[in-house]
């Protein structure tokens, strides 16, 4: 990266209340670039890690689309809100009386833990109308805030694990603090609502913070003000090399000659790579990160042509 042509991934600790689009616009202005984009939208009420690509770094956003995520969520049992989070109006729910509360909290909150456990695995979700899911190119919450109805399609997502960090009472309501490791496209507000429905109390998500996305952690992220301060003073060391964003891709090692050929855009015969590609289970067209001496040199894929099955490069690294 050079000061004249900023390029790479900026890891932002998004503040509450800002849209992901607004954060990206702010980064675009700070770095003085025309091209910028983010990976994995965060709803306005959520905080935490937002990866923003600038300059040439935007070319690797496609490789970050399927990254798994980890969130810390605080779920409140007993109330349902119009938005599924703390910003909405209370529209339902059942606050447990003392007897019901004790039943939920007895045996180390066994009923709550069992309900949470049911959500692990592949599940079907219908995202909130106040979510950032795009409908005809617009976030769903944009329609909802304007009073326009829109149909939200259901989707299958995977919850890999849920770790309950704490269960406590606050203002006569039961709060559950939990870390959720999930696939792309998972809506934590919807997950909280589904747990609340299963328990018969209803629930909403009071706070949400993204802890990780792919290879990146919120510990690496900086607030916008700190990013602006550092960059304006000539410090760009916090900008991550774009190749690091592709750590989730399957990988093969290549020889020095193969690395040179790939960087020069030469088509290579698949037979030379066959054993290595099959060893990692790569299918035709699947993107693979080619490494030479453990350094990325290209994103490659196999493609059928008149000349037979070839290896093509999609993105090269110096």
Can you say how many angstroms the Cα of residue 224 is from the centroid of all Cα atoms in its chain? Answer: 19
H/E run at residue 304: strand 295-305
Can you say how many angstroms the Cα of residue 288 is from the centroid of all Cα atoms in its chain? Answer: 20
Is residue 43 part of the annotated active site? The answer reads yes
The per-residue DSSP string of 181-230 comes to EE-TT--HHHHHHHHHHHHTS-EEEEEEEEEEETTEEGGG-B-HHHHHHH
H/E run at residue 273: helix 270-279
CB 94 within 8 A of CB 213: no
Degrees to nearest 5, angle at CA 176 with 172 and 181: 165
Task: Tell me the C-alpha to C-alpha distance, in Å, between residue 310 and each of 209, 273, 289, 304.
Answer: 43, 9, 16, 6
Degrees to nearest 5, angle at CA 84 with 133 and 159: 65
Pick the catalytic residue from 3, 13, 43, 194.
43
Question: Residue 240 has what DSSP assignment?
Answer: B
Q: Which residue numbers are catalytic?
A: 43
């Amino acid at each position: 990266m050079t000061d004249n042509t900023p390029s790479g991934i900026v890891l932002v600790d998004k503040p509450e209340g800002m849209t992901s689009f607004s954060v990206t616009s702010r980064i675009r202005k700070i770095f003085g670039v025309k091209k910028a984009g983010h990976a994995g939208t965060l709803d306005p009420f959520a905080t935490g890690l937002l990866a923003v690509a600038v300059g040439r770094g935007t070319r690797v956003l496609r490789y970050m689309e399927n990254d798994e995520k980890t969130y810390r969520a605080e779920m409140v049992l007993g109330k349902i809100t119009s938005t599924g989070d703390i910003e909405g109006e209370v529209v339902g729910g059942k606050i447990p009386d003392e007897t019901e509360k004790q039943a939920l909290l007895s045996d180390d909150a066994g009923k709550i833990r069992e309900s949470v456990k049911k959500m692990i695995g592949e599940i079907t979700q219908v995202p909130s109308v106040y979510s950032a899911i795009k409908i005809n190119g617009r976030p769903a919450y944009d329609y909802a805030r304007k009073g326009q109805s829109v149909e939200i399609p259901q989707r299958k997502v995977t919850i890999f694990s849920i770790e309950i960090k704490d269960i406590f009472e606050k203002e006569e309501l039961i709060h559950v603090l939990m870390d959720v490791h999930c696939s792309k496209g998972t809506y934590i507000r919807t997950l909280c609502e589904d747990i609340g429905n299963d328990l018969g109390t209803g629930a909403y998500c009071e706070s949400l913070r993204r802890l990780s996305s792919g290879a990146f952690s919120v510990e690496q992220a900086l607030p916008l003000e700190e990013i602006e301060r550092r960059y304006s003073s000539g410090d760009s060391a916090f900008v991550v090399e774009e190749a690091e964003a592709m750590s989730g891709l399957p990988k093969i090692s290549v020889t020095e000659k193969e690395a040179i050929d790939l960087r020069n855009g030469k088509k290579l015969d698949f037979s030379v790579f066959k054993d290595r590609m099959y060893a990692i289970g790569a299918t035709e067209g699947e993107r693979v990160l080619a490494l030479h001496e453990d350094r990325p040199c290209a994103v490659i894929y196999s493609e059928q042509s008149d000349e037979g099955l070839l290896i093509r490069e999609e993105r090269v690294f110096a």
